[in-house]
Amino acid sequence: MFASLPTRIALSALLLAPSILLAADRSGKEVVESVCIACHGTGKDGAPRIGNATDWAPRAAKGLDKLSQNAITGVRKMPAHGGQAKLTDLEMSRATAYMISGGVTPDTAKPYATTTKGSGEHIVDIACGGCHKEGKGGAPKIGDLEAWRPRLQKGMDGLVTSATSGHNGMPARGGFADMSDSDIRAAVSFMVSKISGPTKP
């Protein structure tokens, strides 16, 4: 069912509205010192050690795109997002570049790699739908304008940030740590596109 014209106008305004002030992504050094050091400092479970060129050489040959993708989705004994689902893809890319360069590569302004699990609809089907289709645990039900109305005030970036870092009963990334930021945005965009119903003045 298509949304009414007033609803479509309101949703268009949401997508064009300035975003609320969001927390800045941390530097590669900050992420490494607070998260990555736990394994990459000692080489735990075969992690390449920070500052050890021999450990990093075969990995560096794969390029930062592949290394960042591995850091985001997980590889071998390393969990997705380094076991910290709240870390953004940009923070993971910065941390990867920081470690592989020995701390000399400047922080990038965008992620080196973005993984994808398909369309927003597919991601909702395999991940988000478990709660959002029925409104489980207070999740805003897909298509329910009144449930989404207070959340829409955050703007699209705010909604994506909430979904990425977790909100109320929803865990970070909906409990799927291997979802990239772009996967989360695609899923949120799909759910917002399904909102229908009359808008209130």
Domain segments of the chain as ranges: 5-22+116-193, 28-100
pLDDT at site 198: 54
Outline where 63-170 has alpha helix (H).
64-73, 89-100, 120-123, 129-132, 145-152, 155-165
Contacts of 154 (CB under 8 A, 6+ apart): 20, 161, 162
Report the SS3 class of residue 30.
Answer: helix
Tens digit of pLDDT for each residue in 163-189?
A: 998 888 889 998 999 999 999 999 999
Q: Where are the beta strands (DSSP E) in the chain?
A: none
Q: Where does 5-22+116-193 sit in CATH, by number?
A: 1.10.760.10
Say if CB 109 and CB 94 are below 8 A apart: no
pLDDT at site 9: 42
The pLDDT > 90 percentage for the chain reads: 39
Domain 28-100, what fold? Cytochrome Bc1 Complex; Chain D, domain 2 (1.10.760)
Say if CB 28 and CB 167 are below 8 A apart: no
Answer whether residue 34 shows pLDDT above 90: yes
Kindly state the average pLDDT of the residues 86-95: 92
The pLDDT > 70 percentage for the chain reads: 86
